[in-house]
Structure 1
Amino acid sequence: MAAHLIVLLLLGVLKGLHSITTVSKVSVEAGKSISIPCLYESQYINHVKYLCEGYDWKFCRYAVKTNKPDPSGKYVISDDKKEQIFTVTINQVTNQNTDYWCVVEINNGPDCGQYFKLSVISDTRRLPVDHQRITGYIGESITIRCHHSNSGEMKWCRLDRNCVTGSPGSIDGITVSTHMRDPNVFTVTMSGLKSNDSGWYWCAKGDIQIPVYLNVTEKPITMKQLSEWNNSTVEENEEPRASYDTKILIIPLSVLILILIGVFIWFILSHKKRKVELSATAMTGEDITYSEVGLEKNSSPRVDKEVIYSEIKPKIQSSTKSLFAECDVELTYSSVVEKQRIKWDEGKDTEVSEH
């Protein structure tokens, strides 16, 4: 039986030599799912790929093809032509189905296939990794814990690339450190992740392997980080915004102050001018007396009156005290002569003078 298995493995290796690369033996929990990556060469990019179920290559049967999905949903296949990897997923794993082949269909020739075996277990503590698909963030580090229960060398490898067995090491330029501080746990840390570090890796202990897909992406912003960022932005912008508002108010306030100052100056000047005028009037020191001349009328004759007014001049006696001292004013009145021309019935004019 062992010899027959070796022959099959050799046959699979020969058939898949430089054509398909995959893991050889994978541990999986009963009833769970497992994804297996199958790397192929560039000349097979446009070829049909499929999963073949069975121990014997000659008698294995098609489980699922890239051009023919499995209607039951037990098998799923996808082809990443950019990375040249097709991935098969087996759901609800059982002990009855443990032998499979990754196959590339060759037109007008024998197909190329690579054999792998599932080791179905019921003890979850023997599972090689906690999660088969993990996510890392650009510029950060990620740690993978590989559990083991059998003997053999521990390895961390990238599919169809180099492996790291000690610490420190590197894969495609990325730093990889490994240690075994905890019993039966092989810890792998990858530092300084880059976007092109995304891909399939596998953790191995002896002949047991488990594929792990690492997806490296930008770290999403959490609500807490967004809130902290908003708070810091508000604090940074708070002082400039207050300064900006103050500058807006300075212009109208300055105009208003200038207007008030102008009104105040105008009011003061007007008040002073009025005081000067009143003061100038008071400084003349003259008392002016107006006389009213009345005319006594006679009812019988009609009189044409000619009134002569005399000019009234104040006689000012200067005082020796000061130019602006009080003055004693003596008023001299002249007689007022009223000439009346009376018309009599005879048509003669008579001039009458009164003193």
Structure 2
Amino acid sequence: MAAQPKTKILYISLGFWLIIGVESYDAWTNQVLTVQTGGSVTIPCHYDKKYTQQKKYWFLDIVETYTNISEENMSIIDHPDQSLFTVTMRNLQDEDTGDYHCIVDNEGIMRSTYEVYIKVQSAPNVSVVSSSVSGHEGGGISVQCLYSSGCQNKVKQWCRYKDQSCYTLGRTDTSQNSSVQISDDDGRRSFTVLMTGLRRTDSGWYFCSTGGVMSPVHITVTEAEPDKEKDTDNEFLTVWLRVSAALLLLLILISVFIWRQRRRPKQDEHQTRERKSSKTTDTDPVNDIIYYSTIDHDPGSEAMKSPAGGAINSIIYSTVAPH
């Protein structure tokens, strides 16, 4: 839901300054920004591109502050490429409560581009867990918005400063690829904003809102990290190759084990047969026959004499080997 811009003419005399032509939006009138005592807040002040080279100011009542300053409790920085300047207030106290204006100097005529009432509280009606959230293109981010018990039954919204578009509970498409989903965390006095399918154009300032009270959040969407994704893919490929190699080696070892187990009975049977055959061959009386014969001296014949002249009675052992 985007409100149509409307210009209302105001004449605010601040010393010798005259502020006219306050550019506002019907849906943005009487906006209240709550901040915890001692805390800090950054307010984006958008302006038309035609004011890029003009001086910018931040007003509280009759206090004037020029852009591009940095003090202990205050800094104002212009961002011409974004057509906005940001005001950061630190260590806020009760006396800092009041109406503030974003002012551009249009050829000596001070024009208010945005006005907000900042209320410093010990327990803010609306706040955020983190006022700066970043994500990658195509990814998602989550923002948690906190609210007081008095806002329990009020409408919860997530709005964008730049085009004043607001989204309520549920899911709403914000672009071709990105979407916004808001869910109320019943019982915890908070609601969560989930933006998915982020695009670079989703970068910018948003705010959580309920019951006309808001708290700003800056979203930064950066390019996806191709090198990191490539490294992740390479790491996955390396792990996959190692696992595949290990599985292949295991499969080979299992196959070799099974093959050897199946082959072993045949080898054992063959070796058994060889041992039996060898044993049979060694003890076969037909193959190796030992004959023992005794030749006695025949008394009727001439006895064999030894060189000493004595008779020799001889026993001769002979072995007949197979041919």
Shift in Å, 1:73: 2.6
Q: How many residue pairs get matched?
A: 222
Q: Report the alpha carbon displacement of residue 220 of structure 1 after superposing the two structures with TM.
A: 6.0
Larger Rg: 1
Whether 2:180 is the aligned partner of 1:176: answer yes
What CA deviation, in whole Å up to 9, does each residue of 1:306-355 have, x standing for no partner?
xxxxxxxxxxxxxxxxxxxxxxxxxxxxxxxxxxxxxxxxxxxxxxxxxx
Counterparts of 2:216 and 2:225, CA distance in 1: 26
After TM superposition, give the deviation of residue 144 of structure 1 in Å: 1.4
Q: Does 1:89 align with 2:88?
A: yes
Q: Which residue of 1 aligns with 2:147?
A: 148
| Corresponding residue for residue 45 of structure 2 | 38
**Matched-pair contact (CA < 8 Å) for 1:136–1:217:** yes
Residue equivalent to 2:75? 76
Inter-CA distance 175–236: structure 2 relative to 1 (3 Å threshold): same
Q: More strand per residue: 1 or 2?
A: 2
Is the Cα contact below 8 Å between 1:203 and 1:211 reproduced in 2?
yes
TM-aligned CA distance change 1:110 to 1:215, over 3 Å: closer
TM (norm. structure 1) is 0.54
Aligned-pair distance for 1:134?
A: 0.6
Which amino acid in the other structure matches residue 211 of structure 2?
Answer: G
Partner of 1:196: 201
CA distance in 1 between partners of 2:214 and 2:30 (Å): 7
Q: What residue number does 1:293 align with?
A: none
Could you tell me which runs of 5 or more consecutive residues in structure 2 were left unpaired when the two chains were aligned.
1-7, 13-18, 246-323
- Do 2:204 and 2:220's aligned partners in 1 also have CA atoms closer than 8 Å? yes
Aligned mates of 2:94, 2:22 — CA distance in 1: 26
Q: Cα gap change, 1:222/1:22 in structure 2, threshold over 3 Å: closer, same or farther? A: farther
Describe the shift of the 1:110–1:85 C-alpha distance in structure 2 as closer, same or farther (beyond 3 A).
Answer: closer
State the partner residue of 1:123: 123
**One-letter identity of the residue aligned with 1:120:** V
Deviations 1:114-154 (A, max 9, x none): 32122212237x55210111111211122212111233321
1:182 CA drift (Å): 2.5
Give the secondary-structure state (helix, strand or coil) at the position aligned to 1:31: coil
How far apart, CA to CA, are the structure 1 residues paired with 2:234 and 2:54?
50
TM score, norm. by length of structure 2: 0.59
Q: Deviations over 1:34-84 (max 9, x none)?
A: 000011112211111111122xxxxx111x3125x25x3321111221221
* RMSD of aligned alpha carbons: 3.6
User: For residue 296 of structure 1, what is the aligned residue in structure 2?
Assistant: none
Give the residue type in structure 2 aligned to 1:66: T
Counterpart-to-counterpart distance in 2, 1:90 and 1:22: 22
Extract unaligned runs of 5+ from structure 1.
1-7, 55-59, 241-355
CA contact (8 A) 1:31 1:92 kept: yes
Alpha-carbon displacement from aligned partner over 1:217-272 (angstroms, at most 9, x marks no partner): 1456999x9689547437649999xxxxxxxxxxxxxxxxxxxxxxxxxxxxxxxx
CA distance in 2, matches of 1:221, 1:92: 41
Q: How does 1:12-23 map to 2 (within 5 A)?
A: 15-17=21-23
What residue in structure 2 maps to residue 66 of structure 1? 67
Residue aligning to 2:134:
135
How far did residue 155 of structure 1 move?
1.0
